[in-house]
Amino acid sequence: MKEFQLIEKYFLNRGQKRRDVLLDIGDDCALVEPASGKSIAISCDTLVEGVHFFADMPAHALGYKSLAVNLSDLAAMGAEPAWMTLALSLPNVDEQWLSEFSNGLFEAAEYYQVALIGGDTTRGPRCINITINGQVPKGKALKRSAAKVGDWIYVTGTLGDSALGLDLLRGVYQVAPQFKDYLLNRHYYPTPRVLAGQSLRGLASSAIDLSDGLVSDIGHILKASNVGAVIDANQIPISTALASCVSEEQALAYALTGGEDYELLFTVPESERGAIDTALLHAGVKFVKIGQICAGDKLKFTLDGKPFTPDFKGFEHF
């Protein structure tokens, strides 16, 4: 199968159709028309076989996750998903793999109303690169740089499940069947908190998605905002599955540093706490307060009311 036959069969005329796409796949560039009064939010993520996923990862899950991790970046900015491009490198043309991959990709694209407007295919080690574009009302984007001393720190969902799911694939643990499917699903099919991010506009002072682990990711907010933070480790949300499968200490390690949760961490001024409760209730997302922004530039933890120093760190690419 030739390149353009591959594109036509698996990617052309599929997924969401949007009125703001003037020209999509088939020309040198795509043309889009952003809505009046909106800024464009752009993010890009690369998934490389052997680095970000195993060679035997189900193709449907890989297609879904490839887009979901990009959508999570838009969620952290409070943006509405709109358009994407896909650059796909493959060692060979495996039609069954392509069918399952594209089905997973477009399942996510249709749910979140994202149009595929262009991209590229090439021969090489399996690698998926997606550039996602969204729209956010001008001046309303959530940033990492506006947390203030006294703001409360929240996270959505539960943390650490995806990391344990990954270790199940590595053979590090064996767990009861009633937990295995849940943990693997959390790793393969993360839920980008798109609606929650939009609900936080005008209420949260800063936000970030948790891709590399809470310890690493909150550090980006602290550095950008020039503040410190105190986190109550007892308040870190841990699922029943995680708590049932590993020790309390290991569960906390997964939750703080495991990564690939794709939940949102955000800060909220005291004056907006009530509004946050209402906004996220309407978004259908569970969330919990885990700490507070403080003066200085250090990230500190307490456990059972006493100072606590984790002896583990979040993920770093280099």
What is the residue-wise DSSP string for 47-75?
EEBTTTB-TTS-HHHHHHHHHHHHHHHHH
pLDDT at 228: 98
Mean pLDDT of 219-247: 97
Mean pLDDT of 244-273: 95
> Over the range 166-188, which residues count as b (16 or more CB within 10 Å of their CB) and which as e?
bbbeeeeeebeeebbebbbebbb
Of 276, 292, 305, the closest CA to residue 227 belongs to: 292
Is 216 annotated in a binding site? The answer is no
Structure tokens at 235: 């308040």
Q: What is the pLDDT of residues 81-105, one digit of tens each?
A: 999 999 999 999 899 999 999 999 9
Of 173, 293, 279, the closest CA to residue 221 belongs to: 293
Mean pLDDT of 200-208: 97
Tell me the CA distances in angstroms from 47 to 31, 107, 126, 316, one per residue in order: 26, 18, 9, 15
CA distance 275 to 255: 27
Instruction: Please give the residue that has the higher pLDDT: either 266 or 2.
Output: 266
pLDDT at 182: 96
pLDDT value at 318 more than 50 = no
Side-chain-side CA neighbours of 56 within 13 Å: the count stands at 3
Do the Cβ atoms of 241 and 161 come closer than 8 Å? Answer: yes
Is 107 annotated in a binding site? The answer is no
Q: What is the pLDDT of residues 25-65, one digit of tens each?
A: 878 888 999 999 999 999 999 999 998 999 999 999 999 99
Mean pLDDT of 277-290: 93
Is 120 annotated in a binding site? The answer is yes
Identify the structural domains of the chain with CATH numbers, from first to last. Answer: 3-137 (3.30.1330.10), 152-305 (3.90.650.10)
Is 52 annotated in a binding site? The answer is yes
Is 249 annotated in a binding site? The answer is no
Is 28 annotated in a binding site? The answer is yes
Is 144 annotated in a binding site? The answer is yes
Tell me the CA distances in angstroms from 150 to 215, 230, 239, one per residue in order: 19, 11, 28
Is 56 annotated in a binding site? The answer is no
Reported as a pLDDT band with limits 50, 70 and 90, residue 314 is low
Q: What is the pLDDT of residues 125-164, one digit of tens each?
A: 999 999 999 999 999 999 999 999 999 999 999 999 999 9
Is 209 annotated in a binding site? The answer is yes
